[in-house]
A and B are shown apart, each in its own frame.
Chain A
Amino acid sequence: MIIFSERINGMYRDVRGAIADRNKEVIHRLLAEQLAGGADVIDLNIGPTKGDPAENFLWLAQAVHEVTDKPLSLDSAKANVLVQAVPAVREALPDTGLVINSCTAAREYMDKLLPLAVQYRCGIIGLTMDQDGVPGNVEKRVECGASFLMAAIEAGIPTEDIYLDPIILPIHAAPKQQIHAVEAIRQLAAVSDPPPRFIVGLSNVSQKCPLHKLLNRTYLVMCLAAGLDAAICDAADRDLIDAMITAEALLGKHLYSDDYLRAWRMQKGLAC
């Protein structure tokens, strides 16, 4: 599974403060934990910070790039922010992999963000929703996912750079939506050839729940069994990563050995 680190996010007070104070140390410390846990892509979200969003994104991207040359995903729900931030980050980091997080299947969003992804050589995450909001059922999710996928392929984005996110909602706020998202992954994987990558914003499922870690890792395993390829999650949550490795071994994605957890970390060059 491709691990998108969720921790460099301005929704967290420490990150928000670090962006405001231009304090790289905080970012570097959090990043070290995420990398030690096995993060493959660093998701950057500036949260509700003050100042120019594109400048904040650029500062954050450069602060992260000082430590690692792993790909970055630029995370904002506002298309206009991404339209400014993506060119700025691309200019500063010409060789770094970038992922736009995220776009919806609404025409207005796709018209802005798909050409942007092509022009600046970015992967892109498409949410399975359109102008009508988050679907309340599986069918609409599949419909939105399929139309985003078709539009992205037509725009010229390689399938392996297209991610579909079936939108994960908190269990206490929207029960049944969790299994809808799992089913949407299963159905979209079955109808697309070659399939895009499937990704979830994992921690949404457990927002404001006391047993959030248990919910996260249980749900991750369910999604992996349906065909999930990537998750935005806390790479420093060792139990979560252990559950992911175990699920992948059981799904036959890697060869089992008695020390399979260590084998996985060893192959990623992580301390065991």
Chain B
Amino acid sequence: MPLPEVKEKWSGRVHPVTLGATPAEGGTRGRTVTIGGASGIPFLDFDGETPHAPAIAMDVLDVAPSDWPKPLADVYADVWSDPAAWARRVKELGADLVNLRLVGTHPDEGDRTPEQAVETVRAVLDAVDLPLVIWGCDVPAKDQVVMPRVAEAAQGENCLLGAATETEYRTLAAAALAYHHKLIALAPCDINKSKQVNMLVSDTGYPLADLVIYPTTASLGYGMEYVYSILERGRLAALSGDRLMAQPVILDVGYEAWRCKEARTGDEAAAAWGPAALRGPAWEAVTAADLLQGGADLIVMRHPKAVETVRRLIDGLLAPTA
């Protein structure tokens, strides 16, 4: 029996977005990373091209985390009070990008000043030559003060800045535009809202082609299917020619996976659930693997074992079929 033809004819594709800048491009990065560009369903090489493999950014915090469980502490505790050393560590572990979270600027979590944030960003830029994703602390009033300063300090490095939302987008879009950075547009688990945010950001004069969509993330066992279906619908809209939905997608897998009790609980549950040293990384890797199938272009991760597994999976899925 002949196989039915399932190949679709798409009119659109995901925008490619390049992050980082080498000295030739006015920055100091060792290389750039391009995400997006796909012209078909993820990992179906007969359906369309995947010119750029999904990239992996690894988390670095500006202050030592207080609640990271043992499997992560085992890898990072010796460097996590120094963001520069931490950044060097994630580079050694194979990160494509550093995902720098300025959580310490949060008014209730240390209230670090814009100057201190700038210092951290500079230290990380000096320590490693990977492109950067930089997030504020998620408190709009504080981010509006910190992020423009950070954007200015990182001028020329073509970072990815997070995150513009439906109500708070003007300041960040203006800073990203002024200092030539890429921008994350965030709409929590709502694809219609996502389109709306992209439109609002675009209204400020910020180019649609420089946006990256962040639909938020949910872990395996905690609503991952919902995010998966949003990824699918977004990719189909992009492929159908919807330019407001043609942006590549970033997902925060590490943070979400390591919030789950299945990942966090220690070896007291080993008898029923298996050893913590494997369970957490597995939870993170499986979440990433699933969401990559939905259409994630850039995933933020934490544990090197999970990163290694996911990297192997991506390489295998993108290997030319014989």
B180 at the interface (CB under 8 A from A): no
Which of A254, A259, A267 is close to B196, meaning CB atoms less than 8 Å apart? A259
Say yes or no: A257 contacts B193, CB within 8 Å.
Answer: yes
Chain B residue contacts of A257, Cβ below 8 A = 192-196, 199, 244
**A257 and B199 alpha carbons, distance in the complex (Å):** 9
Chain A residue contacts of B52, Cβ below 8 A = none
**A38 and B196 alpha carbons, distance in the complex (Å):** 21
Say yes or no: B196 contacts A255, CB within 8 Å.
Answer: no
B106 at the interface (CB under 8 A from A): no
Say yes or no: A255 contacts B243, CB within 8 Å.
Answer: no
How far in angstroms is the closest Cβ of chain A from B146?
29
In chain B, residues 240-254, which have Cβ atoms closer than 8 Å to a Cβ of chain A? 240, 242-245
**A216 and B245 alpha carbons, distance in the complex (Å):** 31
How far in angstroms is the closest Cβ of chain B from A61?
27
In chain A, residues 91-112, which have Cβ atoms closer than 8 Å to a Cβ of chain B? none
Say yes or no: B242 contacts A267, CB within 8 Å.
Answer: yes
Say yes or no: A259 contacts B245, CB within 8 Å.
Answer: no
B305 at the interface (CB under 8 A from A): no
Residue of A nearest to B191 (CB): A255
**A254 and B238 alpha carbons, distance in the complex (Å):** 10
Say yes or no: B244 contacts A263, CB within 8 Å.
Answer: yes
Say which size band chain B's interface belongs to: 10 to 19
Please report the number of residue pairs spanning A and B whose Cβ atoms sit closer than 8 angstroms: 35
B309 at the interface (CB under 8 A from A): no
Query: A255-272, CB under 8 A of B: which get 1 and which 0?
Result: 111110011001100000
**A136 and B202 alpha carbons, distance in the complex (Å):** 51
Chain B residue contacts of A263, Cβ below 8 A = 195, 199, 244
**A149 and B237 alpha carbons, distance in the complex (Å):** 30
How far in angstroms is the closest Cβ of chain A from B8?
13
How far in angstroms is the closest Cβ of chain B from A248?
12
**A263 and B192 alpha carbons, distance in the complex (Å):** 11
B233 at the interface (CB under 8 A from A): yes
Chain A residue contacts of B195, Cβ below 8 A = 255-257, 263
**A258 and B191 alpha carbons, distance in the complex (Å):** 11
Residue of A nearest to B197 (CB): A257
**A259 and B192 alpha carbons, distance in the complex (Å):** 9
Chain A residue contacts of B199, Cβ below 8 A = 257, 259, 262-263, 266
Say yes or no: A255 contacts B202, CB within 8 Å.
Answer: no
**A263 and B244 alpha carbons, distance in the complex (Å):** 8
Chain B residue contacts of A267, Cβ below 8 A = 242-244
**A162 and B173 alpha carbons, distance in the complex (Å):** 45
**A255 and B234 alpha carbons, distance in the complex (Å):** 9
Which of A255, A258, A259, A266 is close to B233, meaning CB atoms less than 8 Å apart? A255
In chain A, residues 222-272, which have Cβ atoms closer than 8 Å to a Cβ of chain B? 254-259, 262-263, 266-267
Chain A residue contacts of B245, Cβ below 8 A = 255
Residue of B nearest to A266 (CB): B199
Residue of B nearest to A268 (CB): B243
In chain B, residues 61-84, which have Cβ atoms closer than 8 Å to a Cβ of chain A? none
**A263 and B197 alpha carbons, distance in the complex (Å):** 11
Chain A residue contacts of B240, Cβ below 8 A = 254
Chain B residue contacts of A262, Cβ below 8 A = 199
How far in angstroms is the closest Cβ of chain B from A191?
20
How far in angstroms is the closest Cβ of chain B from A13?
39
Chain A residue contacts of B192, Cβ below 8 A = 255-258
Residue with the greatest number of chain A CB neighbours at <10 A, chosen from B193, B199, B202, B240: B199
Which of A254, A258, A259 is close to B242, meaning CB atoms less than 8 Å apart? A254
Chain B residue contacts of A255, Cβ below 8 A = 191-192, 195, 233, 237, 242, 244-245
Chain B residue contacts of A258, Cβ below 8 A = 192-193, 196
Residue of A nearest to B234 (CB): A255
Query: B182-208, CB under 8 A of A: which get 1 and which 0?
Result: 000000000111111001001000000
**A266 and B201 alpha carbons, distance in the complex (Å):** 13
Chain A residue contacts of B243, Cβ below 8 A = 267
Residue of B nearest to A255 (CB): B237
Chain A residue contacts of B233, Cβ below 8 A = 255
**A263 and B243 alpha carbons, distance in the complex (Å):** 9
In chain B, residues 287-311, which have Cβ atoms closer than 8 Å to a Cβ of chain A? none
Chain B residue contacts of A259, Cβ below 8 A = 196, 199
Residue with the greatest number of chain A CB neighbours at <10 A, chosen from B191, B196, B202: B196
**A257 and B194 alpha carbons, distance in the complex (Å):** 8
Nearest first, the 8 A-B pairs at minimum CB distance are A257-B195, A257-B196, A255-B237, A257-B192, A256-B192, A267-B243, A258-B196, A263-B244
**CB<8 Å pairs between A and B, sample of 14:** A254-B242, A255-B237, A256-B195, A257-B193, A257-B194, A257-B196, A257-B199, A257-B244, A258-B192, A259-B199, A262-B199, A263-B244, A266-B199, A266-B202
Interface residues of A, Cβ cutoff 8 Å to B = 254-259, 262-263, 266-267
Beyond A263-B199, A266-B199, list 6 extra A-B contacts (CB 8 Å).
Answer: A255-B237, A255-B244, A256-B192, A257-B192, A257-B194, A257-B196
